[in-house]
Structure formats: C-alpha cells, structure tokens
Amino acid sequence: MEVVRLPLTFFQTQVQYLRQRFSWVATTPVNYKLYVVGASWAIWGFESYLQWRQYPHLSKKEVPQILADSLDQETFEKSQAYGRAKAKFGFWSGLYSRVLDTGILYYGMWAWSWGVADSVVQYYAPGTSHEIWQTLITCGIQMVFGIITDLPVSVYHTFWLEAAHGFNKTTPTVFVTDLIKGFFVQIAIGVPFLAAFTKLLRWAGDSFVPAVMSFLVAFIVVMQIIYPVLIQPLFNKLSPLAEGELRSRIEKLASGLNYPLKKLYEIDGSKRSSHSNAYMYGLPWSKHIVIYDTLIEQSKPDEVEAVVAHELGHWYYNHPMKLMLVSQLHIFAILTASSVFLHAPPLLKAFDFPDSVAQNPPMQLSFFLFQLLLTPAEAVISFGMNAISRYYEWQADEFAAQLPSRLKSKGFDEKDDMGERLGRALKTLHIKNLSTVWVDWLYSAYHNSHPTLMERLKALKGFETDSHAKSRKEL
C-alpha cells in the first residue's frame, strides 16, 4: 500500500501548494466571460488566417510533378474545386459556430439551463436536492440545443457540399435514422457517465484527481469493448472479408508478424459516402482489422495489403497505446489545473450564476466552466498532438516499406515493392477522395494528423532506397 500512498500524498501536497499559490482565484472577481469570448474569436482569427494562406494553393492550375503520372488535369481541377468548396464551407460554418458560442456565453445559457433543471427537479421532488438529476438535465438541454443548431450545417454538408462533388450516398432516411440512433447512443452512454462522474466528484472531494483518472481509464477500456459489439453495428454492417487473394495476403502478413488477428472485416462505408479507408481496433490479445468496401473496390489486392501493412506498423510501434498515454497525461494536467478553480465563486458569478449557486459551487459545474477557460491552450496543444500523430504516420509508412525484408528473414516470400504499392494505394485513395494536393505548411501543421500525400510519397521513395541499400549490405 505504501507504494500507492506515497506518490498520492506527494501529489496531494503539490495540489495544496498550487491551490495556495492561486488562492486569489477563490476571491477575486475576473471577467472570465470576456476572456473566453475574446480567446475564441482570436482562435477564429488565426484559423481564418490559415485558410487565407491555404486558399491560393487551392487555386493552382498545375498538377504536382510527383502525381503527374496518375492524376489527370480534369480530376485535379475537380479536386481543387472540391477543396475550395470545403474551405468556404469551413469558413462559414466556423463563423456560425463562433457566433452561436458567443451567444451562449453572452446570454448565460449555462446558468439558465441549471435554473431550468432546478425547477424541473423541484416540480417532481419538491424541497430536495437531486444534484445528479439537475446535472443530467442541464447537460441534456445543452445537448439538444447543440443537435438542433448543428442540423442545418450537417444537412448542408451532406446533401449539398458532398452531393455536389459526387460523394454523398446518404439517403434522407439514413440521415434521419442516424440522427435518432446517435441521439439514443449519446443518452445511453452520457447518462451513466455523467451520473457516475458527478457522484465520484462528490465522493472524492478535493482528492478527486486520481479517482477521476482511474474512472476515465476504466471508461475507455469498456468503450473499446462495447463500441465494436454494440454501437458500430447500429450504423454499419461489418461482414467477414471474403475468402480470396486479399484475405490470404493479410492473414499471411499477420502470422508473419505474430499479430493477434481475431477477425477481418469489410465495412459498408459506401452506404453513406464513397470516401475510403481502413482501420483496426481491439484489445492487445485480440485485434480486428476493418477495410472499407470502397477501398477494396478502388485498389488492387496487393495495394490494399500495403495499406493494411501500414496499419500493422501502428500496432508494431504501439502507437494506439502511446497516443492513449499522451491523452491521459493531457487529462491529468487538465484535472490538476482544474482543482484550483473548483471552489471559486467568481468563476460561476462571471458566467451569470446567482449568488445562491455561486457561493457554494457544485464541483461538476466549476469543472465544466473551467473547460471553457482552456480554449486557447487547447489550440496550442492540437499543434503538438498533430505533430506526434504525423510522426507516427511516417513511422508506419516506413514499417510497411521495409516489411518485405523483415518477413524474408523469417522465411516468408513477399515481393519487395510494398512501399511502391502503398504509394499507389495512397495515390488512388487521394484521387478518388479528391483530397487536396497542394497544402500550405502552417495550415497543415495545425489541421493535419497525417503528412500530406506529397510528403508521404517522397518519404516512401526514401525508405525504398534505404531498404535496397540494406539488402545489398546483407548480400
């Protein structure tokens, strides 16, 4: 027990110190609302600046050299037009959501919905305090408001933007049933989550950080298990990948790497869109690979195999686990910082809560409001997170390109051109998805979790020469 208690005590002392250092937070009035609104518009300004940098790239007339053999002028122009349409859509929908957010803050929607929730609770159970119910109703109001205000944006995106560029396969029926199913899934997960979270804060009091951390880790593990079994089947059909060349190629790769491949699926992505992809999920001892029907249709089996090899690279380097650790660290930092604000009446006052609530702030409310203060920090963090993710993508590409030589040493016979095949698959993916080919570096650093196509193709060429040089040395 000492092993656990010592670091916990040490951590508690640090939190105490932090709280003393920032004790003014509990007494000094600050115009947090103005700060949050200002910060959110500053970020909007920065994002618009990035779009302004990117836009000329979307107006370029010439196909990049590296794609000259596979991208014809007509398709290139289509992809540029699609890129410009997405950029305009991004600008207007971004502006719309900033205006909405500002309105929500200006009119004190948090305080208003907390008050409405209180009257509902008082109506059904007069004279009692049902903090959990009140929290659930407050968040429910925000959620319904979010769904309604988001509706015109997603209708426009699906039925105008995507449809105009030939991607939309979603019928109005699918759209509406998705919406209804999504609503109930949010309720089914959100209600127990929020109830447990509120109860946990109440129970753990000031030493809530380790308790909430353990709760979140357990939640993520449970979601990993129930998402593919209970939630995904509501939206998509996963069917076992048919016997044949592709299946036997992937099974061979998996056995060569001792990858615990449990199931290999094809997903009906084409039901909603003709965008294509592949991914994997599961627990360390039982992995599932899912390939979009659109990818199988658009590429040859040996090219799809190379895409799967890239996915296996993520597994080989433990990327999902590492990313989860980084995000745990992120959550840990947020929780620790939030402990300074948990008993701060000025925070609630700034967001229009009446004195009766602000004087003795419910911890979960302070926690939600504190999240708003983090807006600018989150924008900076997304630069870092994307940089990590891009590095991992580069590593997985390298893994795929060098996989044949790795397998040969184990007596497997695999053609040496995996990198080339991956390059071809990426080109096809890109061209069929009409993805943007010319990208501004700063725009990409902020927005992209993957290196650009041109960066990846160049890197793949480099890996190839690396692995040839290596095999020559071995000879």
User: Which residues make up each annotated binding site for Zn(2+)?
Assistant: 310, 314, 393
CA gap 436, 422 in Å, rounded: 19
Q: How far is the CB of 174 from Zn ion (least distance, A)?
A: 28
Instruction: Give the residue with the Cβ less far from Zn ion, 58 or 396.
Output: 396
Q: How far is the CB of 119 from Zn ion (least distance, A)?
A: 50
* 102 dihedral zone (left: phi>0; alpha: psi -120 to 50; beta): alpha
DSSP SS3 for 343? coil
Instruction: Give the residue with the Cβ less far from Zn ion, 293 or 398.
Output: 398
Q: How far is the CB of 234 from Zn ion (least distance, A)?
A: 26
Helices 245-257/301-316 angle, 10° precision? 20
Instruction: Give the residue with the Cβ less far from Zn ion, 101 or 393.
Output: 393
Counting DSSP H helices and E strands in the chain, the numbers are 20, 4
Binding to Zn ion by CB under 5 A, coded x per residue (else -) over 356-395, reads -------------------------------------x--
Asked whether the CA dihedral 47, 48, 50, 54 is positive or negative, the reply is positive
CA gap 401, 466 in Å, rounded: 10
CA gap 368, 377 in Å, rounded: 16
Which residues make beta-bridge pairs with 345?
none
Structure token pair of residue 418: 């995996």
130: Cα separation from own chain's centroid: 33
Neighbours of 448 (CB within 10 A): 17
Q: How far is the CB of 315 from Zn ion (least distance, A)?
A: 11
Q: How far is the CB of 314 from Zn ion (least distance, A)?
A: 6
Binding to Zn ion by CB under 5 A, coded x per residue (else -) over 27-66, reads ----------------------------------------
Sites for Zn ion among residues 394-453 (CB under 5 A): 396
Least Cα distance to 424 among 259, 331, 280, 306 occurs for 306
Q: How far is the CB of 388 from Zn ion (least distance, A)?
A: 13
CA gap 456, 427 in Å, rounded: 10
Instruction: Give the residue with the Cβ less far from Zn ion, 350 or 396.
Output: 396
Burial of 365 (0-12, 13-18, 19+ CB in 10 A): buried
Instruction: Give the residue with the Cβ less far from Zn ion, 169 or 424.
Output: 424
Structure token pair of residue 177: 């049933």
CA gap 341, 326 in Å, rounded: 24
Instruction: Give the residue with the Cβ less far from Zn ion, 396 or 437.
Output: 396
Read off the DSSP letter of residue 28.
Answer: S
Tokens 């008993």 belong to residue: 343
State the number of CA atoms in the 13 A half-sphere of 31 facing the CB: 6
Residues contacting Zn ion: total by CB under 5 A: 2
CB 63 within 8 A of CB 71: yes
Q: How far is the CB of 294 from Zn ion (least distance, A)?
A: 17
Tokens 């302070």 belong to residue: 366
Instruction: Give the residue with the Cβ less far from Zn ion, 293 or 393.
Output: 393
Instruction: Give the residue with the Cβ less far from Zn ion, 39 or 250.
Output: 250
In the sheet that 286-292 helps form, which strands lie side by side, from edge to edge?
238-240, 261-267, 286-292, 278-283
Active site residues: 311, 397
Distances (CA, A) of 202 to 195, 332, 473: 11, 19, 64
CA gap 97, 44 in Å, rounded: 10
Q: How far is the CB of 223 from Zn ion (least distance, A)?
A: 21
Asked whether the CA dihedral 165, 170, 171, 175 is positive or negative, the reply is negative
The contact set with Zn ion (CB under 5 A) reads 393, 396
